[in-house]
Amino acid sequence: MNKTALVTGGASGLGLELALLLAKDGHNLVLVDIDAEKLQLAKQEIETNFPVKVQILAKDLSQINISEEIITELNEIQIDVLVNNAGFGLFGPFHETDWKREEQMLNLHVITTTHLTKLVLKGMVERGSGRILNLSSLAAFQPGPLMSLYYATKGYILSFSEAIACELKGTGVTVTALCPGPTKTSFQKVVANDSSENKISFNMASAKEVAAYGYKAMMKGKPVAIPGAFNKFLAFLPRVMPRNMAANIVRKIQEKNREE
C-alpha cells in the first residue's frame, strides 16, 4: 500500500517540486493550498505522470484552527510524511507594515506549522515511522530588519524543528528543517507586493534544486538542511560576528534588492 504525504503550499514552487519527488517515490498525496486553480493543475500534472492518487484541499492556511479542519476532513487518512511548506513574506519597517497581513503570517508560519505537526506526530510515533519536513530559511540564523517578523518566524521553525528532532531520536520518526537561501519562486513578488524581482541574484537557486536537496535530507533524517556551500557559510557567519553587524548587513541587502 502506498504511503501518503501531506504537502502545504503544494500548488506551485517548492511545494509542487517536493510533491513531484514524493509522487515519484510512490507516495499518494494530499495537497493543500489557497489557490484552487493551481491545485487542480498540480493534481492533473502529478496523476498524469505518476501512478498515485492526489487529493486537493483549497484552504487558507493562515486561519486559526485550519489544521484541525484539514485533519478532520481527511477522515483518518494516515499521514506518513508531512511537508510544512506554505509561507509568505512581508517587506517594510515594522511600524509601517499591515498588522492583518502580519497576523496571517504568524498564524501560518507558527500556529499552522506547529499544530499540523502536533496532529500527525503522535500517530507517527505510535507506528514507529514518519518524516516531517518544515520549511525554514537562511533567514532563521540572524535578525532581519525590514522583514522582521518573517525572519523571526523562520527562526521559530528552525528552533522548534531541531528541538523535536532531538526528542524523537530512536522513535523511527524524523524532523528536518530545510533552510534555503534565495530561491526562484513567486516569493519575492509576494514580499514586495508588486512585480519587482531580486536585484541580487548571484546566489539564487532553482526551486527544483532546493526541493531535491531538502527531499534527500528528509529521507536521510537530517535535522537541518542548508542547500549550497555559500549558504552554509552565511548561516555560520552570525555566530562569529556581532549580531548588530549581522542585522545591518541584512538591512543593506533588503534595501538593495528593492531599490528603484
Catalytic-residue membership of 150: yes
Catalytic residue among 150, 156, 213, 215: 150
Q: 58 in helix, strand or coil?
A: strand
Can you tell me whether residue 139 is helix, strand or coil? helix
Crossing angle for the helix pair 13-24 and 207-220, nearest 10 degrees? 50
Backbone conformation region of residue 15, classed left if phi is above 0, alpha if psi is from -120 to 50, else beta: alpha
CA distance linking residue 178 with residue 157, whole number of Å: 10
Compute the residue count for the chain.
260
Neighbours of 3 (CB within 10 A): 17
Give the separation between CA 228 and CA 183, rounded to whole angstroms. Answer: 11
Show contacts of 115-122: CB within 8 Å, 24+ apart.
115/67, 115/68, 116/6, 116/8, 116/67, 116/70, 116/71, 116/82, 116/84, 117/82, 117/84, 117/164, 117/175, 118/67, 119/67, 119/68, 119/71, 120/6, 120/71, 120/79, 120/82, 121/164, 121/173
What is the grid cell recorded at 249?
Answer: 548587513
> What's the CA gap between 49 and 44, in Å, rounded?
9
Catalytically active residues are 150
